[in-house]
């Protein structure tokens, strides 16, 4: 019999199982919504990034269908050959307007936007100064760039400034933070990091994947929230979370965007979005402008749920956004909590290493604008019951 060169994978998977970190994919039987069916069970869904409920918004579906009828299902090319349609150009114009920058460029995903941008901006002679909890796509982009990676403790601006002071004069330096940290729901220390960047002449970059559509005027993100327009050189956003569809983008000055169109490898070497996706995103920008009550409801729901969890005595960390972790510590226990919640009708994923530190396993919750008060109360009641059962509160 042929030797299986992939046999080591069985050992790796066995290790995951032993640590309680092996997961089966949960499968939705219905649309992405606040109440849906998952693995055959009716649940209140606290696991989705669909902050404003736009995945099923009628205006977005209508525009997607119209674009599909008019332009077909795909583009058949990368952007730089024959895959740029008018609709792509229009979306980038609108995103720049939304972010109040000169220009914007769309990538296939937020991951591609971060990784492609960091890798394009830096070389092996350069430096990335990065918050320790920044997203994997930033870390991978930094590794691809071959720049030296300097990590500062989470939100510790003083430590970041000290790192910068010790760097050699030569070389480009990119200071980077998530706008909202995806596993903790706290905000990056953007205003103080901007000061450091200005003092030392660094490139300042923010990943606003979880802030766009959530923070700032009409969801413009953390740069707008903190009043930092003109002080952040590179703003990344996603089209796959609050916007409800798929994709990522970079907004900044004209040179940055021109450069990324020439050196951003995912932009150059991967096919562009189907027109229906792009039309969906355009419609979402209209909704952000025309239905500000969605963001208001999101924040009202966030407060109700977060206050409820804290009143029950759960450790919800330092969250300041609709993302609220319930920090448990042990991975096995976090998965047990998630599984018990699920059986009772609440879908809140357990998250362990390597997504979070080994001793910081958690169940992560995200409320949306489309959860009703009854949904939130139902979820809180189940959290109370299961939390007591597992001795967490
Ligand atoms: C902070 C952060 N940045 C980037 C991404 C990647 O975005 P996308 O899912 O659009 O690839 C995610 C989420 O997956 C994220 O949480």
pLDDT, one tens digit for every residue, the chain (393 residues): 889 999 999 999 999 888 877 888 999 999 999 999 999 999 999 999 999 999 999 999 999 999 999 999 999 999 999 999 999 999 999 999 999 999 999 999 999 999 999 999 999 999 999 999 999 999 999 999 999 999 999 999 999 999 999 999 999 999 999 999 999 999 999 999 999 999 999 999 999 999 999 999 999 999 999 999 999 999 999 999 999 999 999 999 999 999 999 999 999 999 999 999 999 999 999 999 999 999 999 999 999 999 999 999 999 999 999 999 999 999 889 999 999 999 999 999 999 888 898 899 999 999 999 999 999 999 999 999 999 999 999
Backbone angles phi, psi at 175, to 5 degrees: -100, 125
Active site residue 109: no
Q: Is 248 within 8 Å of 95 (Cβ atoms)?
A: no
136-145 and 110-121 helices cross at what angle (nearest 10)?
A: 30
β 350-351/361-366 pair status: antiparallel
Q: Active site includes 241? A: yes
Tokens of 372: 């009703």
Centre of ligand 1 to C-alpha 282, Å, is 19
| 182 part of the active site | yes
* CA 31 distance to own-chain centroid: 20
Cα of 366 to ligand 1 centre, how many Å?
A: 14
Q: Helix (H, G, I), strand (E, B), or coil: what is residue 315?
A: coil
Q: Name the active-site residue from 210, 273, 306, 371.
A: 210
Which is catalytic among the residues 63, 241, 360, 371? Answer: 241
Contacts with 12 (C-beta within 8 Å, 6 or more apart), sequence order: none
Q: Which tokens belong to 191?
A: 């205003």
C-alpha to C-alpha distance for 333 and 338, rounded to whole angstroms: 9
Gap between the Cα atoms of 318 and 113, Å rounded: 27
What is the reported pLDDT for 174? 98
What's the predicted TM-score (pTM) here?
A: 0.96
CB 215 within 8 A of CB 51: no
Spatial contact of 159 and 127, defined as CB atoms under 8 Å apart: no
- CA distance linking residue 287 with residue 57, whole number of Å: 9
């Amino acid at each position: 019999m042929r030797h299986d060169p992939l046999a080591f994978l069985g050992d790796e998977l066995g290790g995951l199982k032993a640590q309680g970190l092996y997961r089966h994919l949960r499968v939705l039987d219905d649309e992405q919504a606040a109440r849906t069916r998952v693995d055959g069970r009716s649940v209140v869904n606290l696991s989705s990034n669909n902050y404003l409920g736009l995945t099923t918004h009628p205006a977005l579906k209508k525009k997607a269908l119209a674009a599909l009828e008019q332009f077909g299902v795909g583009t058949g090319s990368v952007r730089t050959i024959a895959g740029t349609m008018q609709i792509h150009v229009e979306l980038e114009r609108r995103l720049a307007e939304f972010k109040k920058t000169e220009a914007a460029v769309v990538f296939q995903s937020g991951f591609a936007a971060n990784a492609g941008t960091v890798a394009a901006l830096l070389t092996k002679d350069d430096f990335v100064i990065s918050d320790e909890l920044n997203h994997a796509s930033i870390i991978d982009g930094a590794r691809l760039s071959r720049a030296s990676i300097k990590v500062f403790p989470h939100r510790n601006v003083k430590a970041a400034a000290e790192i910068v002071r010790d760097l050699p004069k030569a070389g480009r330096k990119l200071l980077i933070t998530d706008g909202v940290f995806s596993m903790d729901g706290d905000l990056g220390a953007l205003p103080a990091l901007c000061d450091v960047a200005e003092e030392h002449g660094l490139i300042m970059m923010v990943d606003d994947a979880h802030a766009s559509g959530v923070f700032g005027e009409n969801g413009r993100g953390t740069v707008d929230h903190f009043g930092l327009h003109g002080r952040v050189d590179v703003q990344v956003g996603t089209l796959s979370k609050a916007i409800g569809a798929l994709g990522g983008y970079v907004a900044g000055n004209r040179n940055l965007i021109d450069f990324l169109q020439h050196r951003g490898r995912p932009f150059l070497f991967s096919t562009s979005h189907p027109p229906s996706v792009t039309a969906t995103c355009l419609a979402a920008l209209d909704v952000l402008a025309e239905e500000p009550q969605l963001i208001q409801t999101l924040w009202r729901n966030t407060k109700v749920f977060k206050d409820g969890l804290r009143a029950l005595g759960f450790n919800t960390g330092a969250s300041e956004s609709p993302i609220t972790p319930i920090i448990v510590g042990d991975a096995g226990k976090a998965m047990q909590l998630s599984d018990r919640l699920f059986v009772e009708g609440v879908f809140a994923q357990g998250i362990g290493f390597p997504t979070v530190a080994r001793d910081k396993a958690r169940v992560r919750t995200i409320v949306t604008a489309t959860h009703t008060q009854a949904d939130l109360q139902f979820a809180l009641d189940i959290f109370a019951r299961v939390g007591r059962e597992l001795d967490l509160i």
